[in-house]
């Protein structure tokens, strides 16, 4: 799959099949993150991979799903993610910031996941203190994000946004993701 096609096909997935994610896949995704750009090539990010049932149970309660969907959009028991990558910022390397690096690295993870037939959700509404405690994360590392992963059990629809960009589920449970049009966001030569 080429990059353009992965970019077009990537949508956030919040419903997963009950299918184990092999460690080799998680290593591939972290390796894609490892090669992402960083300010001054500082590379402040580190990662925890989680694929065991007990590890997944430990992290799941600390995640908030899709705040724009009334009542939230937490996956049902049989649609939970099969693996996670916790993205950490090493504060000995970057005393402040790290968010831009995390953005680039996570996007690499998301696109690599698509290429391998996986779906993912990038979560930043997470209980950082609880995750830090649950996984024994050293004091000099902050939890930035969590990427939830697994084989997708839904196929969200990309559509053109009007005034409202809020994503929504229809009566059949299909997720609609409105994106602003190129005409709305592109300014040629001048604003």
| Binding interface with ligand FMN (CB under 6 A) | 11-12, 14, 64-66, 121-125, 156, 167, 177
CA distances from 14 to 19, 25, 111, 178 (A): 14, 19, 16, 16
Nearer of residues 96 and 190 to ligand FMN, judged by Cβ: 96
Please name the residue ranges forming H helices in the chain. 3-9, 23-34, 53-59, 99-115, 128-134, 182-185
For the bound state, the minimum distance from the C-beta of residue 170 to ligand FMN, rounded and expressed in Å, comes to 15
Nearer of residues 22 and 99 to ligand FMN, judged by Cβ: 99
Nearer of residues 150 and 156 to ligand FMN, judged by Cβ: 156
Task: State the residue number with the nearest CB to ligand FMN.
Answer: 125
**Could you say which DSSP state residue 126 is in?**
B
Contact 152, 17 (CB under 8 A): yes
For the bound state, the minimum distance from the C-beta of residue 39 to ligand FMN, rounded and expressed in Å, comes to 18
For the bound state, the minimum distance from the C-beta of residue 82 to ligand FMN, rounded and expressed in Å, comes to 16
């Amino acid at each position: 799959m080429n990059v353009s096609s992965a970019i077009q096909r990537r949508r956030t997935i919040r419903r997963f099949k009950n299918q184990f994610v092999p460690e080799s896949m998680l290593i591939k995704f972290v390796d894609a993150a490892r090669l992402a750009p960083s300010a001054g090539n500082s590379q402040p990010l580190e990662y925890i991979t989680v694929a065991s049932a007990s590890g997944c149970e430990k992290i799941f309660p600390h995640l908030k799903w899709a705040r724009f969907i009334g009542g939230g959009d937490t996956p049902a028991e049989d649609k939970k993610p099969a693996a996670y990558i916790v993205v950490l910022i090493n504060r000995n390397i970057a005393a402040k910031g790290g968010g831009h690096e995390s953005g680039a690295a996570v996007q690499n993870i998301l696109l690599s996941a698509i290429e391998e037939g996986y779906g993912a959700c990038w979560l930043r509404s997470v209980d950082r203190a609880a995750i830090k405690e649950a996984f024994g994360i050293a004091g000099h590392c902050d939890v930035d994000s969590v990427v939830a992963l697994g084989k997708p059990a839904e196929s969200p629809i990309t559509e053109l946004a009007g005034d409202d960009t809020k994503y929504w589920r229809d009566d059949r449970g299909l997720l609609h993701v409105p994106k602003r049009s190129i005409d709305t966001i592109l300014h040629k030569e001048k604003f």
